[in-house]
């Protein structure tokens, strides 16, 4: 079960420390991911240039790599950043967006995992199952499987890589290969707003940087995302546009102690 006192502590740590989260993410996700980080109290940084990766990673609290819009130059930057994070001992999060949809996506994600050992791998069920080596048809960035379908694959992936694996869906699953925790907060509209999952990965970077350990950070991040979704829905669902605004408002004004009492597992 989630430790609600640790949840409150982690939420406070993100706001007090304002960890600088370096994002190599896709163009669709940049704006909302940056705003989610700011709303939660963290500081976003977006950089793609391979030549500055050592310097940028060295001043960052965490790195987040999202493979949503790949090109050769960006892949070079991803590898340089992941290598720097691994060398410097900085926590980093991999979001294998659309893994399974094309060979270059799958191979890029696998190479980043094998060579540079992400702290957390966070994705939807199809992406995690693909990366774990299970046969599944991916529909690009959308998942054709439920998060529950991916639990065993997530556990196997965590054991094989040493990474914490976070699977998003109607129920979120977070595992280190032995422990499995769930978060059932959230609203269906979150699956219909572009880059909501990408934002969860960005925020995972902030929580892993500020938390006592990666498993706890990844779990508490997904709890924050889910509770913010619940709070936004409580304003009266009017559509995905206003929901996104209400979601950001919920994050930026969230009372951690009140939020802790809203967590459902």
For residue 144, the model assigns a pLDDT of 53
Confidence of residue 139 (pLDDT cuts 50, 70, 90): very low
Beta strands 20-24 and 62-66 are: parallel
pLDDT exceeds cutoff 90 at 141: no
Give a yes or no: residue 265 inside a domain.
no
pLDDT exceeds cutoff 90 at 146: no
Give tens-digit pLDDT for 15-24. 999 999 999 9
Give a yes or no: residue 103 inside a domain.
yes
Mean pLDDT, range 147-166, rounded to an integer: 93
Mean pLDDT, range 232-257, rounded to an integer: 97
CB-based burial, 238-264: b 16+ in 10 Å, e otherwise: eeeeebbebbbebbeebebeebbeebe
CA atoms of 14 and 33, how far apart (whole Å): 15
Give tens-digit pLDDT for 90-137. 999 999 999 989 999 999 999 999 999 999 999 999 999 999 985 334
Beta strands 120-124 and 43-46 are: unpaired
CA atoms of 205 and 214, how far apart (whole Å): 9
Residue-number span of the structural domain to which 71 is assigned: 4-260
Number of folded domains in the chain?
A: 1
Give a yes or no: residue 28 inside a domain.
yes
Give a yes or no: residue 100 inside a domain.
yes
How buried is residue 117: exposed, middle or buried, by Cβ count under 10 Å (0-12/13-18/19+)? middle
pLDDT exceeds cutoff 70 at 204: yes
| pTM of the predicted model over 0.85 | yes
Average pLDDT, the chain: 94
Widest Cα–Cα separation across the chain: 47
Confidence of residue 148 (pLDDT cuts 50, 70, 90): confident
For residue 145, the model assigns a pLDDT of 62
* Domain CATH for 205: 3.40.1190.20
> Which of the residue ranges 85-89, 131-135, 177-181, 193-197 would you say has the lowest mean pLDDT?
131-135
Give tens-digit pLDDT for 41-100. 999 999 999 999 999 999 999 999 999 989 999 999 999 999 999 999 999 999 999 998
Give a yes or no: residue 33 inside a domain.
yes
Give a yes or no: residue 110 inside a domain.
yes
């Amino acid at each position: 079960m989630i430790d609600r006192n640790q949840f409150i502590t982690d939420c406070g740590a993100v706001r007090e420390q304002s960890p600088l989260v370096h994002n190599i993410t896709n163009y669709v996700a940049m704006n909302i991911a940056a705003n989610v980080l700011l709303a939660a109290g963290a500081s976003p940084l977006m950089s793609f240039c391979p030549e500055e990766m050592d310097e940028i990673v060295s001043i960052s609290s965490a790195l987040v790599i999202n493979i949503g819009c790949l090109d050769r130059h960006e892949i070079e930057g991803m590898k340089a950043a992941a290598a720097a994070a691994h060398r410097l001992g900085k926590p980093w999060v991999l979001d294998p967006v659309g893994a399974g949809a094309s060979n270059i996506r799958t191979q890029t994600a696998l190479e980043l995992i094998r060579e540079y050992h992400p702290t957390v791998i966070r994705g939807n069920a199809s992406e995690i199952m693909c990366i774990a080596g299970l046969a599944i048809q991916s529909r690009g960035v959308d998942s054709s499987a439920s998060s529950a379908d991916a639990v065993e694959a997530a556990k196997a992936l965590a054991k094989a890589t040493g990474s914490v694996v976070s699977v998003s869906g109607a129920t979120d699953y977070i595992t280190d290969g032995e422990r499995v925790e769930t978060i059932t907060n959230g609203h269906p509209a979150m699956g219909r707003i572009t880059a909501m999952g990408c934002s969860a990965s960005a925020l995972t970077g902030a929580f892993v940087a500020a938390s006592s350990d990666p498993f706890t950070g990844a779990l508490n991040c997904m709890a924050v995302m889910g509770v913010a979704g619940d709070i936004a829905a409580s304003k009266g669902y009017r559509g995905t546009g206003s929901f996104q605004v209400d979601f950001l408002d919920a994050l930026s004004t969230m009372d951690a102690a009140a939020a802790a009492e809203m967590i459902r597992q």
